[in-house]
Amino acid sequence: MKILVTGGAGFIASHIAEACLARGHRVVVVDDLSRGKIEQVPTKARFYRADICDLRKMEKIFRQEKPQIVNHHAAQIEVRKSVADPALDARINILGSLNLLELSLRAGVKKFILASTGGALYGEQDYFPADEKHPIRPRSPYGIAKRAVEMYLYYYRAVHGLNYVALRYSNVYGPRQDPFGEAGVVAIFCENLWRRQIPTINGAGKQTRDFVFVEDVVRANLAALKPGVSGEFNIATGIETSVNRVFALLAQAVGSKVKPVHAAAKKGEQMRSVLDYSLARKVLGWAPKVNLGQGLKLTAEYFKP
């Protein structure tokens, strides 16, 4: 099949593009390189530097390539930026996604796969881990936008027959994650430890997250290609891990005895977030394979200077 991967020069989607090529699929990568890196685009993929909000340019790409699958990872990914500028977040994450959905209809795309979010969607959880039936209470424009696109996907399937899968990721980590700006705590800690800088932990470090390795996320995207599979699925481990524990494991992997400093907690930050992946196991036949210790060692090795 021909698969168009948006954001394919970025952390997660570049791994997905590689895996799709390895499975024998033809891959087209679209990325504006605002965050992605050209060197992460697989050499066998056809690459277009383009912004998904540029409808005219995207129309040309869809006409030329005629993709059968769209795997949509291009996004404004910073929660704090979405709070500071909700209109910008909506323009990219909602209107940009709508461009792709409309073009997918015209091109006869068979399935639209969306990189959605778990923690930012469910908000403060009523129970742990949260399954897909948990109340949706996003506390950021970023989470609201992801939910809006999920609802648009439901509409496009119900009215136009466009099949879709929305993968609600927990906290994805692994090689190629950007340690700069508002990035994942794992990548930031790796950079700090290898550079012998003192890491900063916001709050007491007891806040928990569900850390899922990027290779497992890639396998979920491949499983989403199965015919007849549709809907929203949590992609996670079902295991809560504190930020303090993640730091300790990474320090051990690097061989560092440095101690972190603790700063003020981020206002409004969730204290606990963990997702139930039972539905993905039942419908997609997916379950995480890489445990946190293994994944953190592989990630630390990637960031080694």
Q: Quick: pLDDT tens for 176-224.
A: 999 876 569 999 999 999 999 999 999 999 999 999 999 999 999 999 9
Residues 59 and 133 both lie in one domain: yes
Residues 218 and 259 both lie in one domain: no
Residues 160 and 259 both lie in one domain: no
Q: Are 16 and 33 in contact (CB under 8 A)?
A: no
pLDDT value at residue 268 = 73
pLDDT value at residue 24 = 98
pLDDT value at residue 179 = 85
Residues 125 and 196 both lie in one domain: no
- CATH code (residue 251): 3.90.25.10
Alpha carbons within 13 A on the beta-carbon side of 69: 22
pLDDT along the chain (305 residues), means of 10: 98 98 98 97 98 98 98 95 96 98 98 97 97 97 97 98 98 93 85 96 96 98 97 98 98 97 88 97 98 98 97
Q: Quick: pLDDT tens for 148-184.
A: 999 999 999 999 999 999 999 999 999 999 987 656 9
Alpha-carbon radius of gyration of the chain? 19
Residues 113 and 261 both lie in one domain: no
Distance CA 233, CA 220 (A): 9
Residues 7 and 48 both lie in one domain: yes
pLDDT value at residue 216 = 98
pLDDT value at residue 181 = 60
pLDDT value at residue 266 = 84
Closest CA to 75 of 11, 170, 20: 11
- CATH code (residue 61): 3.40.50.720
Q: Are 100 and 112 in contact (CB under 8 A)?
A: yes
Closest CA to 213 of 193, 241, 194: 241
Residues spanned by the domain of 89: 2-170+213-237+276-284
Domain count, the chain: 2
Residues 178 and 68 both lie in one domain: no
* Residue 305 amino acid letter: P
The most distant pair of C-alpha atoms in the chain lies apart, rounded to whole Å, by 58
Residues 109 and 198 both lie in one domain: no
pLDDT value at residue 267 = 79
Residue of 48, 142, 164, 277 marked active site: 142
Closest CA to 17 of 77, 9, 52: 9
Phi, psi angle pair for 181, to nearest 5°: 70, -145
Question: Which three-class secondary structure string do you get for the chain?
Answer: CEEEEECCCCHHHHHHHHHHHHCCCEEEEEECCCCCCHHHCCCCCEEEECCCCCHHHHHHHHHHHCCCEEEECCCCCCHHHHHHCHHHHHHHHHHHHHHHHHHHHHHCCCEEEEEEECHHHHCCCCCCCECCCCCCCCCCHHHHHHHHHHHHHHHHHHHHCCEEEEEEECEEECCCCCCCCCCCHHHHHHHHHHCCCCCEEECCCCCEECEEEHHHHHHHHHHCCCCCCCEEEEECCCCCEEHHHHHHHHHHHHCCCCCCEEECCCCCCCCCCCECCHHHHHHHCCCCCCCHHHHHHHHHHHHCC
Residues 14 and 162 both lie in one domain: yes
Q: Are 189 and 203 in contact (CB under 8 A)?
A: no
Residues 134 and 102 both lie in one domain: yes
The yes-or-no answer on residue 142 being catalytic is: yes
Residues 122 and 268 both lie in one domain: no
Q: What does the block give as tokens for 129? A: 């881990």
Closest CA to 299 of 202, 173, 157: 173
Residues 131 and 191 both lie in one domain: no
